[in-house]
Each structure stands twice: as structure tokens, then as C-alpha cells.
Chains A and B, each alone.
Chain A
Amino acid sequence: MISNAFSYHTPETLEEALAMLEDGGGKILAGGMSLIPLMKLRLASPESVVDLRRIPGLKAITEEGGAVRIGAMATHHEIEISPVIRGKCPLLGEAASAIGDIQVRNMGTIGGSVAHADPAADYPAALVALEARIRLRSANGERTVEASEFFVDAFTTAMEAGEIVVAIEVKEEEASEGFKYEKVAHPASGFPVVGVAVRVKKSGAGIAMARIGVTGMGPHAFRARNAEALLEGGAGAAAAAAVVGEGEETNSDLYASGEYRRHLARVHAGRAIAAALTRAL
């Protein structure tokens, strides 16, 4: 398996990288964990590959004013071990540590993962539950897109041609929040058949805030707002979990039917809610 020939570029600035995308024949290379296999299978055959690894600052994970900014080129491993992530948005760190294996986590990046928008990627569940914002740069400037609006369909995002993901912005999780990422890993690939990310904040005996993100079940990650509302309205974990995925499209393949995936999403939402509640203060 050898890809078609391509020209290879390593711009030193984002401006140079954006200019290289202008003719439309270029493809951004981040960690390469999805693009390189696609190119080897010749499902993708870009004329030129624009590698972002030499652009300074694109890997940084920083916090400022209650928000964490994760550079697009930060690897999954850098995210899983980052003290900033572990301290301020541990749900994202937990999802990062569940990705593939360490070799993949040493190479793959969060920017590449969100731009590729694999319907079975781990991050999107956590990103929609965290109400993350995806920061995009183009020749026309920068804009941000809410994670829940960013993942539009399988391998399809709200990005326009000529845009590059430069960072992911996440509001700090409050210290009193409980969180949990639960996944059913496919035994061969390690991708989630279904993954559920949950955040909860307690208020007395009730739940003041609930966020539930689901990946793998359908063509794109989604927030189970109906289940969130039930939890916030005083329903139990089981009752809330039972409505996860209602009205949502499902993916089906040889390994797992759509109905089975919906069932898994509910079972694992129940477990994730229970686990998050035990962690909440």
C-alpha cells in the first residue's frame, strides 16, 4: 500500500499554510493517523500535503480567564498527561486516554481528529458535553464554531474550504462537577462502538446541571438534551439514560446494528451518569 505521489510542504507560519491551500489541491497533515491510511488506500489522493508540524505555538495547552485553549497540534498523549487538562477539564483528558493505543496517542492530534470527524472518534462526545468551541482560521480571519454545530455528519464538519482548525477552547469544569467518559471499544480497532461523556453538578439532593455527549451511535456526535433535561428536572439516572438517542439517526455495520448501538448508548449513559454522580461533590 503506497499512496499516490504528492508534493510535501512544511510551512513555518499559518499564513504560509493558508496560502498553500488556496489552489484547492492541498490537504492538511496533522498527526497523520487518519490521512496517511486513507492516502495509502488511495481513498484520498491530494496533490500536495501541507504538514503543520513546524508552525510554532500550535501545540500549546494554556489556560486563561476560566477557559482552556488546546492547540490543534497537541497530541492525544500530551492532552491525557497535561496538568492543565487534568486540573481544569479532566473529562477531555479521560477521553484522550481512551483513544486507540499509545503509539496512536503519541502521533495523533486533537485538531486532526476533529477536522476528520470520524463518527466513531472519542473526542467529540467529550467536546459536545464540554460545550467546546472549535477555533478556525482562514485567509479571511478567525471564527469559532460550537462543537455541537461543528460535527454535521460522518466525516463532515462545519469547516469551509481553506479553513484550518487552530485550537479547541473549553470552559473549565467546576471543581465540584462529576464527570465520566464511558466507551465500548471495538475489540479490533479500539474505536468506540459507542462512547458517552457525562458531566453533572449536584445541588442538594438534585442535579443542577447535566451534559451528555454521545459518539459512535450515529453519523455524528450529539448532545442528549432530552436526557439532560430529565436529570435536571429531578428524574433518576435510569429514567434519563432510557431516552438517550431518541429520535437520533443511527449507524449500522457488520459489527453492530443501529438498534444495538442505541441500546449500548443507553446502558453506558446510565453507567456514566452513575459514575459521574459519585465523583461530584
Chain B
Amino acid sequence: MTHSQNAELERQAAESSVAGPDNRLRITLMVNGDRREVEIEPRVSLLDALRERLHLTGTKKGCDQGACGACTVLVNGERILSCLALAIQYTGQEITTVEGLALDGSLSPLQQAFITHDGFQCGYCTSGQLCSAVGMMREFDDGVPSAVTADVASGTIDFSDTEIKERMSGNLCRCGAYVGICDAIREAHSEVHSEVHHAGESR
């Protein structure tokens, strides 16, 4: 999205800043790179807007109260719970759902790794796990420490299972596929890194 598009959406958001209780508002959400218009009341959660209005049903409703992580989506690359977000708050921000993770119609390395390592059984938590893992790997690569990072000052963090578990603790899996989920994330992370490494070498 260009800066001018951003500015336009920001202006729209400012104009929509007063919404009466019965006032259905037309807002624009940027979802997976597409501008999507949706008419909503202020009380509609981002999750319901995605699922019920935009028919992007990949994002799942689990507990609907911020405990399970099934509804995790990325906003400007950060993981949030779409069930506890009002859609109206996210006008003009870059929203990524599980539908936006594939690359040119083929599974991303992370999605493929979830299949390879049986990172799910029933699959209900999977879209949240995937979005969360994307955000988690970016945070890790940016050097963002976690509660279990021993030596924050050193600036280097091991991509250990302890780190993965702490950083993925917002996503529950009732089937208990955690071992497969950790394996998938570890593999996807090392794969992406070896690609970056090779790309660097070939120059």
C-alpha cells in the first residue's frame, strides 16, 4: 500500500470517528493486500467482520474471549486477537489472515512444514498457529527478547524449544499437536534462514 493510500484511509478513519449505536458504517479494511469495504456497526469484532462479512472463514472462532489464540491475525505484522478487536479500530491497517500466507498459490514453507510434521490433528487452531508463528519468527529475527531469554544484553537469542514454546504460548491446541508444531516452526525457520544465507552467497 502506498503512503497516499494510507493517508486516505487514515482520513476515512478519522471521519468515521463518531458512530452512533445504530449507525452502520462503511469502512475499508486492507486484508491480505486487498481493499475490502464492509458495512458494520461499531460492536462488530474484527473476527466477525472477517468471517461473516468478508467470508474469510480461515480465521477461526475458538473461545471468543481472548484465551485460545485461534483467531490470531497479523496487523502490520504484529499478532493480535481478532476476537477482542473491533473492526472499526483497524481501518487502514494492514491485516494478514491465513488466506494471505500462501505464496503465488503454493503453500509457504511454514504451511508445508506443518503438514510434513503433523503440526495439527483436527486443524481448528491451525490458522491461528500459522499466523502466530509468522509473527513470532519475525519478532525473533528482529532480536525481540521474550520472558525466557536469559541474556538480553548479549543480543543473540537461541531459536530453542524453550523460546518457541514461550513465544507460541498464546495459541492453544486441544489435540495436543505441540511437538509437531514446534518441529514445523523450527524447520521453517531454519529453511528460510538457509535461503537467505544462499541468496547472500550467490551475489
* Contact surface of A with B, Cβ cutoff 8 Å: 1-12, 32-33, 36-37, 39-41, 47, 49, 51, 53-54, 80-81, 86, 97-98, 100-104, 106-107, 188-190
Contact = CB atoms under 8 A, between A and B. Distances in A.
Contacts of B64: 1, 40
Interface in B29-59: 41-45, 48
A97 B59 CA distance: 26
Given A106-B78, A107-B81, A189-B67, A3 B17 contact: no
A5 B22 CA distance: 7
Contacts of B152: 86
Interface stretch (B104-112, B141-149, B174-182): B141-149
Contacts of B80: 103, 106-107
Interface string B95-119: 0000000000000000000000000
21 contacts: A1-B65, A2-B44, A7-B23, A8-B42, A9-B19, A10-B13, A32-B86, A36-B45, A36-B84, A40-B64, A97-B146, A97-B147, A101-B170, A102-B132, A102-B167, A102-B169, A104-B66, A104-B170, A106-B78, A107-B81, A107-B84
Contacts of A6: 21, 42-43
A227 B18 CA distance: 51
Nearest to A10: B17
Contacts of B41: 5
Interface residues of B, number: 43
A37 B170 contact: no
Contacts of A36: 45, 66, 84-86
Given A6-B42, A7-B42, A98 B169 contact: no
A2 B43 contact: yes
Closest 9 CB pairs of A and B: A101-B170, A8-B42, A5-B21, A10-B17, A97-B147, A103-B170, A8-B19, A37-B65, A36-B84
B89 A40 contact: no
Given A102-B79, A107-B80, A107-B81, A9 B17 contact: yes
Interface of B: 13-14, 17-23, 41-45, 48, 64-67, 69, 72, 78-81, 84-86, 88-89, 132, 135-136, 139, 144-147, 152, 167, 169-171
A48 B35 CA distance: 28
A47 B21 contact: yes
A45 B84 CA distance: 15
Contacts of A9: 17-19
B79 A106 contact: yes
A81 to B, nearest CB: 6
A51 B17 CA distance: 9
Given A9-B18, A102-B139, 11 more contacts: A7-B20, A32-B86, A36-B66, A37-B65, A41-B65, A51-B89, A80-B145, A81-B144, A100-B170, A102-B132, A106-B79
